[in-house]
Amino acid sequence: MRETPRSQVTAGDTGSRPPQLRPGRALAHTPGASGSGTPHRSDGRPPQTPRGARYAGQFGRFGTTPPVPNRPTIFLILFAALLFAALTWQVASDGPLLAYDERLGDAIRTSAIPSGPAEFFADLGNMAVALPVLAGTLAYVTWRTRTWLPVISTVVAMALVPTLVAPLQSLIARPGPPPMAPDTGFYPSGHAATAAVAYGLCVLLLRSRRLAYGCVLLNAAVGLGLVRQGYHWPADVLGSWCLSVVLLCAAAYAVSRSSRRSSSGTPSC
């Protein structure tokens, strides 16, 4: 039998050569190509939302950058501002709403709600209680994020509480419930506003949904305690909550801007 002749090496060949990469496979691993580990588009243009532009939660920084105020947030601010204006107008002009407000306040004050827990929650609106809690939260967040940018927003928002509440109380001069009569200057409630803004800022800095639910329940207990103990009328508390919503939304926007700037800067140690 005749053996099949083996292929002969040509004169230009020097022996076995290393395998050559095929062009088709090389393109598959180039940045931006299909099958590579980086985002790609079929038309070769850069992606609209590159992964490198997203700042996930990293140690020493805030978490995912919150979005800018959207329509629901703007609607909430407008609703709170309009409700606050309506309540202020009714209280200042001794409108018909005050009769229902005082009737509700008398019913809560003479209800079977225990006085001890009501006094405890009412005291949570004192500056001596709320400010240390906020200061401790702010110190912890500042130490963890290594940035002082949220401090300004938090301090300004908290400083606006007495700056706005005290002149309104003097201007409107609403008489208090029977235990506090004949003193005036009870609208809006300074204790309710202090509790709402201080504890709301703590939730804003810590960014916890569970704490947000707890903060809502806590402020509801504070407002109920203030009315139960005869320190304020229900409209006083509701007006303070409306004012606090506006301040907290403004502070949330300022903190989101500061966190976005810190995320775009150099990584912190």
pLDDT per residue as tens digits for the range 124-159 = 999 999 999 999 999 998 888 888 877 888 999 999
Looking at residue 168, its pLDDT comes to 96
Contact residues for 248 (Cβ-Cβ < 8 A; gap 6+): 157, 196, 197, 200, 201, 204
In sequence order, the β-bridge partners of residue 175 are 184
With cut-offs at 50, 70 and 90, classify the pLDDT of residue 60: very low
- Residue 222 vs residue 35, higher pLDDT: 222
What is the rounded CA–CA span in Å between residue 150 and residue 152? 6
Answer yes or no: is pLDDT of 35 > 50: no
Looking at residue 9, its pLDDT comes to 47
Answer yes or no: is pLDDT of 86 > 70: yes
Looking at residue 246, its pLDDT comes to 95
Looking at residue 76, its pLDDT comes to 92
Answer yes or no: is pLDDT of 19 > 70: no
Helix residue spans in the chain (DSSP H): 23-28, 71-92, 97-109, 115-123, 127-145, 149-172, 190-206, 209-228, 234-264
Answer yes or no: is pLDDT of 58 > 80: no
Answer yes or no: is pLDDT of 122 > 50: yes
Looking at residue 46, its pLDDT comes to 52
- Residue 150 vs residue 219, higher pLDDT: 219
Least confident of 27-31, 136-140, 224-228: 27-31
Query: Average pLDDT, stretch 101-107?
Result: 96
Query: Average pLDDT, stretch 165-186?
Result: 91
With cut-offs at 50, 70 and 90, classify the pLDDT of residue 179: confident
Least confident of 3-12, 92-101, 104-113, 233-242: 3-12
Looking at residue 189, its pLDDT comes to 97
Answer yes or no: is pLDDT of 203 > 90: yes
Looking at residue 131, its pLDDT comes to 96
Looking at residue 25, its pLDDT comes to 47
Query: Average pLDDT, stretch 234-246?
Result: 97
**Mean pLDDT score of the chain, rounded to an integer?**
80
Answer yes or no: is pLDDT of 250 > 80: yes
Half-sphere exposure of 195 toward its Cβ, with a 13 Å CA cutoff?
A: 29
Contact residues for 180 (Cβ-Cβ < 8 A; gap 6+): 186, 230, 231
Query: Average pLDDT, stretch 58-75?
Result: 53
SS3 184: strand
In sequence order, the β-bridge partners of residue 184 are 175
Answer yes or no: is pLDDT of 28 > 90: no
Contact residues for 249 (Cβ-Cβ < 8 A; gap 6+): 69, 73, 76, 77
- Reported pTM: 0.71
